[in-house]
């Protein structure tokens, strides 16, 4: 990477991490402290926990489109400002309704798509994979830090203090963005990283992609609904003081990553994606059953949570990979845009479901409902086709007319290892799906008439 690419990658990864950390920090503690808020009920507590997901889901794709039209910088700065204002509103509120409003405002600063598009603007094709991977890892790290750090911060500074922390994080994000990102940017459409409105219908009619979108929605529903009641089970039934919940979350997260990593390698390297994927869904359902049966035992809960987070981490890693494998090469950005939309909407639904069930039927019913939803997902995933183990690749081919683009597609698909090719003549780009083990890169470069190396932009 060039110095500019490194600086942009670090800055944008940091922005993503700060924002997601602010959204996740209350996940392990909100149910424990929200009862002190005026007007709080279990249903409203769940709504507050998931409120950010609704506004994020609604604005996820529009923010990306607006960043094409109005520029990346103003959209991202506006989103960070909304995040800071949302944290401020929640911090100053003594009622559950104010916290709901604050969380909704935080979600309204929906800059994920704009950040991904900006990362594509600021990196060359051959370096883009590194930038996207760094951003992805920052999200996972933020989630782990939030689980461990949330109980500690809540003990030190209280719930309002966490919201003040998120407001300050938004301001720090604005400052980092102003320092780390060039002011004069050249933006363009990147079909590998952005949603294209012209492709919405095709992507939404794809049954395989819809299965994956439904899957990430269910995963986030189960995760958020579980955390409506899990902290209460740890404190009120298992008897662990709220300030010590991180004693459970830290070893559980470490172990889950250790267990998950070799499974990801087996799924990708040895082409066992579908059985590993189905096994993770089954493990998620079994862990919910375990929480129902063992939520009165601290050690039982810790063991079940290890299984739960192993499944969650494994599914969070494999679902985007499956989207990339299944989506047509020129529609990956659009497919990922809808994937993220379903993801955040699932968080909203999970908060609502968990809060309502907790208020109506009690803590254990939430775990059983999550298990039932997971079984539905397992049934749908069983009918999913085995994925083709192809990588998305990008190749600069030079601007050409429509006839030239059609001829080039024929030549590209004749190259050994190229399974699909789409050439966008006015962009001068070829979007490919290739088998990395069989690809003849030299022949591909010769056909494209370019010395630019073939570039992997995703699994």
CATH code, domain carrying 452: 3.30.70.100
pLDDT at 441: 79
d(CA 95, CA 351): 18
Co-location of 381 and 400 in the same domain: no
Give me the domain span that covers residue 294: 221-389
d(CA 329, CA 35): 49
Question: Which residues of the chain, if any, have pLDDT below 50?
Answer: 451-459
- Tell whether 22 is covered by a domain: yes
d(CA 188, CA 90): 37
Tell me the CATH number at 166: 1.20.1250.20
Co-location of 226 and 249 in the same domain: yes
With contact defined as beta carbons under 8 Å apart, do 201 and 104 qualify?
no
Q: Where are the alpha helices (DSSP H) in 362-416?
A: 363-382, 402-413
As beta bridge partners, residue 430 has 395, 423
d(CA 330, CA 198): 12
Co-location of 158 and 295 in the same domain: no
d(CA 387, CA 251): 34
* Overall domain count for the chain: 3
Co-location of 291 and 360 in the same domain: yes
As beta bridge partners, residue 163 has none
- Tell whether 200 is covered by a domain: no
- Tell whether 169 is covered by a domain: yes
Give the end of a domain, one of 364, 389, 414.
389
- Tell whether 309 is covered by a domain: yes
Co-location of 385 and 395 in the same domain: no
Pairing assessment for the beta strands 418-424 and 429-434 based on DSSP bridges: antiparallel
Co-location of 123 and 244 in the same domain: no
- Tell whether 30 is covered by a domain: yes
**Residue 396 in 3-state DSSP?**
strand
With contact defined as beta carbons under 8 Å apart, do 394 and 132 qualify?
no
Co-location of 307 and 411 in the same domain: no
d(CA 76, CA 72): 6
- Determine phi and psi for 394, rounding to 5 degrees: -130, 135
- Tell whether 208 is covered by a domain: no
**Residue 392 in 3-state DSSP?**
strand
d(CA 36, CA 379): 41
d(CA 24, CA 142): 8
Co-location of 12 and 138 in the same domain: yes
d(CA 92, CA 164): 9
d(CA 124, CA 450): 16
d(CA 293, CA 390): 42
Query: Is 0.85 topped by the overall pTM?
Result: yes
User: Half-sphere exposure of residue 64, counting CA atoms within 13 Å on the CB side?
Assistant: 28
Co-location of 326 and 400 in the same domain: no
With contact defined as beta carbons under 8 Å apart, do 397 and 430 qualify?
yes
- Tell whether 241 is covered by a domain: yes
Give the end of a domain, one of 389, 420, 445.
389
- Tell whether 203 is covered by a domain: no
Co-location of 301 and 327 in the same domain: yes
- Determine phi and psi for 123, rounding to 5 degrees: -125, 145
Co-location of 350 and 454 in the same domain: no
With contact defined as beta carbons under 8 Å apart, do 429 and 395 qualify?
yes
The Cα-based distances of 225 to 80, 88, 123, 355, 423 in angstroms read 27, 25, 38, 7, 44
pLDDT at 126: 67
Give the end of a domain, one of 194, 210, 230.
194
**Residue 40 in 3-state DSSP?**
coil
**Residue 264 in 3-state DSSP?**
helix
Region for 418 from its dihedrals, namely left if φ exceeds 0, alpha if ψ lies in -120 to 50, beta otherwise: beta
Co-location of 381 and 396 in the same domain: no
């Amino acid at each position: 990477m060039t110095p500019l690419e490194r600086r942009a990658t670090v800055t944008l990864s940091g922005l993503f991490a700060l924002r997601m950390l602010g959204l996740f920090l209350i996940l392990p503690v909100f149910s424990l402290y929200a009862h002190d808020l005026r007007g709080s009920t279990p249903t409203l507590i769940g709504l507050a926990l998931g409120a950010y997901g609704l506004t994020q889901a609604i604005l996820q794709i529009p923010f990306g489109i607006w960043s094409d039209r109005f520029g990346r910088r103003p959209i991202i700065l506006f989103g960070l400002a909304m995040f800071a204002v949302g944290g401020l509103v929640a911090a100053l509120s003594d009622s559950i309704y104010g916290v709901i409003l604050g969380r909704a405002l935080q979600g309204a600063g929906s800059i994920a798509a704009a950040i991904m598009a900006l990362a594509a603007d600021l990196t060359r094709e051959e370096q883009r994979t590194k930038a996207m991977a760094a951003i992805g890892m920052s999200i996972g790290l933020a989630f782990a830090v939030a689980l461990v750090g949330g109980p500690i911060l809540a003990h030190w500074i209280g719930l309002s203090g966490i919201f003040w922390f998120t407001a300050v994080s938004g301001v720090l994000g604005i400052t980092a963005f102003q320092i780390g990102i060039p002011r004069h940017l050249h933006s363009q459409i990147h079909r590998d990283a952005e949603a294209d409105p012209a492709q919405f219908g095709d992507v939404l009619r794809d049954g395989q992609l819809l299965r994956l979108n439904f899957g990430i929605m269910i995963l986030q529903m189960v995760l958020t609904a579980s955390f409506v009641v899990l902290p209460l089970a740890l404190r009120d039934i298992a008897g662990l003081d709220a300030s010590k919940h991180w004693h459970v979350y830290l070893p559980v997260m470490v172990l889950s990553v250790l267990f998950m990593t070799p499974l990801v390698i087996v799924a990708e390297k040895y082409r066992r994606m579908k059985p590993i994927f189905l096994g993770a869904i089954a493990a998620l359902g079994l862990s919910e059953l375990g929480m129902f049966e063992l939520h009165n035992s601290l050690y039982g809960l810790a063991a079940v949570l290890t299984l739960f987070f192993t499944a969650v981490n494994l599914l969070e890693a494999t679902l985007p990979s499956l989207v990339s494998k299944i989506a047509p090469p020129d529609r990956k950005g659009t497919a990922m845009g809808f994937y993220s939309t379903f993801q955040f909407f699932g968080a909203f639904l999970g908060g609502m479901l968990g809060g309502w069930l907790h208020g109506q039927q009690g803590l254990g019913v939430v775990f059983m409902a999550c298990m039932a939803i997971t079984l539905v997902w397992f049934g749908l995933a069983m009918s999913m086709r085995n994925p083709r183990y192809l990588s998305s690749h990008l190749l600069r081919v030079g601007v050409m007319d429509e006839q030239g683009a059609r001829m080039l597609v024929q030549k590209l698909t004749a190259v050994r290892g190229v399974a699909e090719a789409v050439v966008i003549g006015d962009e001068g780009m070829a979007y490919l799906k290739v088998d990395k083990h069989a690809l003849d890169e030299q022949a591909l470069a010769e056909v494209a008439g370019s010395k630019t190396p073939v570039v992997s932009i995703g699994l």
